[in-house]
Amino acid sequence: MAMRHRVGCMLSLALLSQLLRTPNFAKPASIKSKFQPGREDRDLYVKLELGAADESESVEGLSSKDRDLINSMVTGGNNRDWFTVLRAFGACSQTIAPQFNFAMAAALKCGQFKKGIAIFDELCASGVRKTLKSYCCAIRLSGELGSRDRIMALWTEAQQDALWESDEQALSLMCAALYASSKVGNVTFAATLLDLMQKRGKPLNVIDWNQGIDACAVAGEAGAASFLFDNMIKAGVKPNIISFALLVGAHSGKPVARICEAARRLKDHDVLPDSAFFEELVCAIFGARQLKMNTMIRAEDTIAVVRDASVSRRAEAWRVIQEAKAEGLHLSSLVQLFEASLQKVAGFPTI
pLDDT of 59: 77
pLDDT at 51: 39
DSSP annotation of 330 reads P
d(CA 249, CA 168): 32
Asked whether 128 and 62 are in contact (CB, 8 A), the reply is no
Q: Is the Cβ–Cβ distance between 281 and 249 less than 8 Å? A: no
pLDDT of residue 294: 65
Task: Using alpha carbons only, give the angle 60, 64, 70 rounded to the nearest 5 degrees.
Answer: 75
pLDDT at residue 349, rounded to an integer: 87
* 299 Cβ contact list (under 8 Å, min separation 6): 337, 340, 341
List of the chain residues with pLDDT < 70: 1-57, 293-296, 351
pTM of the shown model: 0.83
Contact 244, 297 (CB under 8 A): no
Length of the chain: 351
Amino acid 36: pLDDT: 41
